[in-house]
Amino acid sequence: MYPSLVEPTIKCVIHSELKTCKEKKFYQYSNYLNIGGFLFLVGTIGFILWYQYKGKQDTKTQIENERKKKEYILSKLNYFQRMKQRAYTNMPI
């Protein structure tokens, strides 16, 4: 047999300890990666929703704006109807 500097039981213990450390490190990094991915996903969805709905108005303001639009359209229609009924002036006969 060849001489050995380390006993076989010590090799086995070191091997099992290194394996345990590797597994702990893997689980720790995978947890960090999962948490980071989750935060990225939530942040991306949150930004998209915020960007999409930031210009939305509440219902009270929307109703007020619709009423103003209707009043404007009706006033223009009334103006053109009055213009149509008005007698033409400075027209040669």
pLDDT in tens, 13-53: 999 999 999 999 999 999 999 999 999 999 999 999 998 88
Has residue 93 got a pLDDT over 80? no
Residues 49 and 64 in one domain: no
Give residues with Cβ within 8 angstroms of 65, minimum separation 6. Answer: 57
Q: Domain for residue 91, yes or no?
A: no
Q: Is the pTM of this model over 0.85?
A: no
Residues 39 and 71 in one domain: no
Three-state DSSP at 3 gives coil
Residues 37 and 63 in one domain: no
Q: Domain for residue 92, yes or no?
A: no
Backbone angles phi, psi at 63, to 5 degrees: -65, -40
Domain of 15? 8-54
Give residues with Cβ within 8 angstroms of 69, minimum separation 6. Answer: none
Distance CA 91, CA 93 (A): 6
**pLDDT average, residue stretch 54-74:** 89
* CA nearest to 79, candidates 69, 88, 68, 71: 71
Distance CA 81, CA 78 (A): 5
